Chain A
Amino acid sequence: MSRVSLNDFARRFAESRTAVISLMISLVFVACALFAPLMSPTNPYDLTQLQLTDALKPAGSKRMLPGEEVRANIRIEAGTASVEPALAAQTRQSITAESCGASCLSIGVQPEGTKLASLQIRNLPAGAAVEGGKKHIVQPWWTVDNPEGSKVRIVSNSPLPENFTVLAIAKSLDQETDFVFRLGTDGFGRDMLSAILYGIRISVFVGLVAAGAAMVLGTSFGLLAAWRGGVTDAVIMRAVDFMLGLPALLVGLAILAILGNGVSKVVLAIVIVQWSYYARTARSFAISELGKEYVEAARCLRLSPTRIMLRHVLPNCMPQIIVLFTLNIAAAISLESSLSFLGVGLPLTRPSLGMLIASGYEFIFSHKYWISIYPGVVLLVMIVAMNLLGDRLRDLNNPRLDR
């Protein structure tokens, strides 16, 4: 297309404000798809980051670090205390001990400000007690619930012995972090915002690749039918009629039931469903182009049929095929989401929007609306925007609406 007619096309496109808004929304979604790893706060595919304590949190809640148990042996030798962890496991918190006089030993937890559920001291020397602590009925264990300042003091009426060892067990409370789940979490504790961004990425990818592959395949068949005519035409077009007669979702379900799920199989299923639209459109426009004199001129110049079809006829059919492509991306996304919602599409570990909606479906009656609603709204906006965009392109290509 020449520069002049391209400008003209853009101007006529911009006459519809809806179309411009749709185009912008579509571009935002494409950007989301491209830059999802940069934009999303967490990586929803990294299963090691998930913790069940975060599951089903509403929008705006903060991520919690679960409480942990820390054990350490505190050895007192000649009045100085040394701490050695009793467990090999890596912990965030550590136990500290310092002397606070001849008959006093203070035991606390680092870092400062850690809230403890309880701090238990075992194996105290005779005569010693823990301030505010309760002794175990049988064992020489002293426990302080919710110790103030996360510190306890071992005190004794007489000075403490020179050498002894106690075991301290600190249990900390769940800890709030600065990380906010802006759209809440799903049943696995996945951040919904990240899951939606990655879901858009998968949906847009599947939509573009599937619609694109269907376009190439269908257009080739359409051109072949238009060029060869006769039996070839009849066979291809009856296959097209057959495909158009079957409901898309049912065909998709059947194909995935045979092939199993996975991104490539969903793409294949959508291609099998959608190629017929392109074949029919490409054939009808190619036939009308083949009747024009420039094709006869090309044949008179003894160009090869392949060259005439690809270089002369195809470019003149492309505007209509592009319109169909735009509309079919939306249809492909919607089909993929439907299949995923029905559980035959993409695997649970790499959720698309449809899969997210499906996974929230079981919680929707317990007021955990965000898991289904947010991906649903995103999907709705995306499909409506792409449909409006395609409609506008189709209107621009329709000479009857041309003023």
Chain B
Amino acid sequence: MNEMIFEAKDLSRSFTVGRSALRNLANRFLGERTPTVLRAVDNVSLTLREGETLGVVGESGCGKSTLARMIAGILPVSSGERHFRGEPYDSLLARKRDALKIQMVFQDPLSSLNPRLRVGEIVGEAAVLHGLVPRSRVKDYVVDILARVGLPADSISRYPHQFSGGQRQRVGIARSLAVKPDMLICDEAVAALDVSVQAQIINLLMDIKRESGLAMIFISHDLGVIRHLCDRVAVMYLGRVVELAETEQLFATPTHPYTRMLLDGMPKISLERRKFMPIQGEIPSPLNPPSGCHFHPRCPIATEHCRRTRPELREIASGHVHACLNVEAL
């Protein structure tokens, strides 16, 4: 088994809603009112090995992107620990050049590129500033990186708005690769693209992974993409991980009711008639999550016990954990 590259223990992130200096002052004098707290990510623990790809899947609003930003080190955690190759993030982020080893690819290919900078500068800026490449050779360096992601050399003097969506995402990937990362977090990196372009970008990511042995965290709501790309998959619901297993095992024998319903909703090519069972109800507001198991209002097998008790992650097979009180075994 490979070395561990990243470890997260009990990561949480909560946002206080409607907080202001004035309200803080009012609270001090008029007595504390409990502020509304949004728990975007709630006690998530993850591990990633060198060269491995971990998929994180879930509905919109389940905290995937918040988790991605905490792992990338651009959002502070409310509680929990993050370690990169055994080193806590606090000391890692202080050394900027080492912190570059963790990079991120963003969802929106247009807004993630600065519209006022040319591609050459978008890609080359950080490498020059952190001394990875001398300023005199940055042009060749950027051209090399652009070639790796399949962009022509003359892209270097163009602006983001002159590219198509797929090309912009290639620029975004080139920007991450330019600082020689060891771990790449892709936050819905293909969600905004056409299906045909999605396939190109996914192939590009797989090529890069094969060439350089990057460890990747791939965040998506698209189960097909996750299945294609990932070694292991974590399923999130309302800020919590509800199931985590090897990709093969998860897609073959999902155990958590939420995972099962997600997989049932996946389009399949087959001739037999299938009964389509959509997940009942809306995703609850994270401002006021259901008690006990967050999934119980929509769960077909929920009991009174689920309403009261918060389920912990339990191992039900080797490398397969889930958080359900009712499903005991495979």
Interface residues of A (CB under 8 A from B): 1-2, 4-5, 230-231, 234, 292-294, 296-303, 307, 312, 315-316
Contact = CB atoms under 8 A, between A and B. Distances in A.
Which label, helix, strand, loop or mixed, suits the secondary structure of the A interface? helix
Contacts of A297: 104, 106, 112-113, 172, 175
Contacts of B117: 312
Given A292-B111, A293-B107, A316-B115, A300 B21 contact: no
6 A-B pairs with least C-beta separation: A301-B126, A293-B112, A302-B96, A315-B116, A293-B106, A294-B114
Given A301-B179, A316-B115, A296 B69 contact: yes
A303 B126 contact: yes
Contacts of A5: 161
A293 B111 contact: yes
Given A293-B111, A297-B112, A297-B175, A303 B104 contact: no
Nearest to B112: A293
B310 interface: no
14 contacts: A234-B21, A293-B107, A293-B108, A294-B112, A294-B113, A296-B106, A297-B112, A300-B73, A300-B104, A301-B103, A301-B126, A302-B93, A302-B100, A303-B126
A300 B74 contact: yes
Given A230-B21, A293-B107, A297-B104, A1 B175 contact: no
A303 B93 CA distance: 12
A74 B107 CA distance: 105
A72 to B, nearest CB: 80
Given A300-B72, A301-B100, A302-B99, A294 B111 contact: yes
A301 B176 CA distance: 8
B159 A2 contact: yes
A301 B111 contact: no
Size range of the chain B interface in the assembly = 20 to 34
Contact of B21 (A231, A294, A302, A315): A231
B315 to A, nearest CB: 33
B318 interface: no
Given A300-B73, A301-B125, A312-B114, 19 more contacts: A2-B159, A2-B162, A4-B162, A231-B21, A234-B21, A292-B111, A293-B112, A296-B69, A296-B104, A297-B106, A297-B172, A297-B175, A300-B104, A301-B175, A301-B179, A302-B97, A302-B100, A312-B117, A316-B114
B104 to A, nearest CB: 5
B287 interface: no
Contacts of A315: 114, 116
Interface of B: 21, 69, 72-74, 93, 96-97, 99-100, 102-104, 106-108, 111-117, 125-126, 129-130, 159, 161-162, 172, 175-176, 179
A298 B125 CA distance: 10
Nearest to B74: A299
Q: Tell me which of A2, A5, A297 has the highest count of chain B C-beta atoms within 10 A of its own C-beta.
A: A297
Contacts of A296: 69, 74, 104, 106, 112
Given A234-B21, A294-B113, A297-B112, A302 B104 contact: no
B267 to A, nearest CB: 29
Nearest to A318: B116
Contacts of B125: 301, 303
Contacts of B113: 294, 297
Contacts of A234: 21
B103 A300 contact: yes
Contacts of B93: 302
A297 B99 CA distance: 13
B275 to A, nearest CB: 40
A289 to B, nearest CB: 9
A222 B21 CA distance: 18
A291 to B, nearest CB: 9
A298 B96 CA distance: 12
B139 to A, nearest CB: 18
B56 to A, nearest CB: 17
Contacts of B99: 302
Nearest to B121: A311
A327 to B, nearest CB: 23
A302 B111 contact: no
Nearest to A3: B159
A168 B99 CA distance: 101
Given A293-B106, A297-B106, A302 B116 contact: no
Contacts of A303: 125-126, 129
Given A293-B106, A297-B172, A302 B126 contact: yes
A296 B74 CA distance: 7
A18 B55 CA distance: 58
Contacts of B104: 296-297, 300
Contacts of B161: 2, 5
Contacts of B103: 300-301
Contacts of B97: 302
B61 to A, nearest CB: 17
Nearest to B96: A302
A297 B174 CA distance: 12
A315 B108 CA distance: 20
Contacts of B115: 294, 316
Contacts of A230: 21
A210 to B, nearest CB: 27
B183 to A, nearest CB: 11
